[in-house]
Chains A and B, each alone.
Chain A
């Protein structure tokens, strides 16, 4: 018999090729995202979709928020705070360049904050930075920021996407061609389809493992499932809950269930009768069965909340027991308020699953205490005009996704119409307190007050349900701030 030398050679070559392929770890990632950002400048738009692409990837701030929600050094490597809590002196990282090659210096920091605070500023969170009195470049690598009043949230606030450092040369074009100092630079945007980023090899800090990243915009759930199954994308940072069982059962994928900063609330017009009566709001709170709602809306994913505060936050207290599900108590309160037979009201629902489905479930729950709810579906733009701006609504369902945003209840002109001097006093002290123990006390007091006043129906915390290729690691499970941070993502075998 002839020795099959050819076959052996082929086999040897083939196995070498296979080994080579197995060893070459992938360094690119394709992430599926449901919503496409309209533009890419996080300092001139509030859409979460912007931060998902750019936050900590293309752009960086003086500080950055990590996966646990804690503040870490960013472009400022360290800082000192004066005794009175008013003067912050930041030492800036050295050797930093923007992606267009221009060096980063203290002047860029001054420019960034002056742009936020300018009269014609279009920064969505401008109010957060209002306590800033002055921003001064001491030298090229040192910046001093003086506040009018102490702020316990200042270091967190300058780590948000809204306060990333931009260059004067490119600030006006960041919406379509973002230039930052982050570990990834913008390559290309095929609108309606995908955005590509590439590692910035000149990055001042530790280079990430990924060399390329792309975001693919897939709005349709069925299309998203197919893209995952066909391995056209390597993961979704937040996927529809109804299809999770499919991916949990498939060893090619892993499912990461975490929390976000999004509180889903049944917004209530506190100025509008009958909701100006505390007993009516309490009655509605007693009528809500949160677990049934979570099961119905998001297949059991989501943590019930009893106030406007994220359960993963260190200051969180569980207040879901303030008005437990109790139909007898609800009916008694309604009768006491003069509605023994209930009343009719309307609920305006924006086009998101938790609102449209949640509205139906809440309506059936309220029907049990005689409250008839007319469900009115509205578009986002209509919701923003009718509900938020004109306050023309009774009830609504919406998620508030900004981190640590309990302060919105202190504004009597906000769409809740909640004007409570006691609560406003708590928030005004909280915003100027820097001592952690006292801040915790005040945050607990604020949460408790909102829960007792039943200002809104507090429903549950929006979950983050990531579906990823099982070989991808380093992605954030929780989302204490909006973003999909690529820094630590890598492929492992």
Chain B
């Protein structure tokens, strides 16, 4: 087990370094100047030059790269060019919105998607199955931002139960923060739940005709018991893979839903930073995302072992 963990760790560090180098190079090649962005179209070239010096943009690329990596190793992500605030604080602030949002969307999509998938698989070919799978097809097809707008129209504009958007900070009013995340997390969860339901159904349908289910039936279990105790667990493997990918997507790819609900999330932060050429902020955020996604994948890998004893045995015997 220990060599396995070491190998994974080395891979982790190598991934990070590669990501750092690639984002640095790519963003450096991007046309545009944060100093010009800040000072606008009437500023004199001298003022722009003075600001470039002040921001440290005039140093050669290699020097800036080394300074940036060195800073991060000490936990210092630098100061945002356009906002003048520490990059780490800016990202942490946004993660306090995006992470709970992604988690809530994940929980909702599991709570809706898995039971529906199991139900559809158990009633394969029935009217319920057809109906559910049509619904799931619809759920995948409906864009989440549009679904979000419908939710706002119903629950905020008409019923006035929930705010149409915005975010109340956790330390100000935790209940308010939760209320601001309800509609966006449902908007995000819908397509994910639909995908999960479809994957779960397919996996379970495959499993139902497996030999071990027949053996379990032969031991005297009902079909329901056999599927629940042996089938679901086996069907979870592909579901776990999808969940890992979905979580990474939920953390990094929620910008459209963030826009609809004007939430101060990570997606909008990165989008604005790119358009303002606040490259130091973009780079910091990408590193944080790379860490997050790599860690998620690691967790998924470990969970495989938990779900599938064969993987544990194979690793242990190495």
How many Å lie between the Cα of A431 and that of B190 in the bound state? 62
Q: Cβ of B50 and Cβ of A122 under 8 Å apart?
A: yes
Q: Cβ of A176 and Cβ of B32 under 8 Å apart?
A: no
Q: Cβ of A389 and Cβ of B268 under 8 Å apart?
A: no
The B9-62 residues at the A interface (CB cut-off 8 A) are 30-34, 36-44, 46-47, 50-51, 53-54
Q: Cβ of B262 and Cβ of A223 under 8 Å apart?
A: yes
Say which one of B158-166, B200-208, B237-245, B297-305 lies at the interface with A. B158-166
Q: Cβ of A220 and Cβ of B259 under 8 Å apart?
A: yes
How many Å lie between the Cα of A389 and that of B33 in the bound state? 10
Interface of A is mostly: loop
Check: B167 CB closer than 8 A to any chain A CB.
yes
Check: A190 CB closer than 8 A to any chain B CB.
yes
How many Å lie between the Cα of A226 and that of B48 in the bound state? 39
Q: Cβ of B260 and Cβ of A379 under 8 Å apart?
A: no
Residues of A within 8 A of B33 (CB): 381, 384-385, 389
A46, A190, A227, A398: the one contacting B38 at CB < 8 Å is A46
Check: B93 CB closer than 8 A to any chain A CB.
yes
How many Å lie between the Cα of A56 and that of B16 in the bound state? 47
Q: Cβ of A230 and Cβ of B163 under 8 Å apart?
A: yes
Check: B152 CB closer than 8 A to any chain A CB.
yes
Given contacts A46-B39, A218-B262, contact A226 B152 (CB under 8 A): yes
The B159-182 residues at the A interface (CB cut-off 8 A) are 160, 163-167, 169
Given contacts A124-B40, A125-B42, A379-B275, contact A192 B264 (CB under 8 A): yes
B40, B93, B166, B272: the one contacting A194 at CB < 8 Å is B166
Check: B82 CB closer than 8 A to any chain A CB.
yes
Closest residue on chain A to residue B262 by CB atoms: A218
Shortest C-beta distance, B188 to chain A (Å), equals 16
Q: Cβ of A223 and Cβ of B164 under 8 Å apart?
A: yes
Closest residue on chain B to residue A398 by CB atoms: B41
Residues of B within 8 A of A145 (CB): none
Check: A438 CB closer than 8 A to any chain B CB.
no
The A381-414 residues at the B interface (CB cut-off 8 A) are 381-382, 384-386, 388-389, 398, 400, 402, 405, 408
A interface residues with partner B (beta carbon < 8 Å): 36, 38-39, 44-47, 119-127, 175-176, 190-194, 216-220, 222-223, 226-227, 229-230, 232, 351, 379-382, 384-386, 388-389, 398, 400, 402, 405, 408
B interface residues with partner A (beta carbon < 8 Å): 30-34, 36-44, 46-47, 50-51, 53-54, 82-85, 90, 93-94, 97, 149, 152-153, 156-157, 160, 163-167, 169, 259-265, 268-269, 272, 275-278
Contacts A/B (CB < 8 Å), 28 sampled: A44-B38, A45-B40, A120-B50, A122-B50, A122-B51, A126-B44, A175-B83, A176-B84, A191-B85, A191-B90, A192-B93, A193-B166, A218-B166, A218-B262, A223-B260, A227-B262, A230-B156, A230-B157, A232-B164, A380-B37, A381-B31, A381-B32, A381-B34, A381-B276, A384-B33, A386-B31, A402-B42, A405-B42
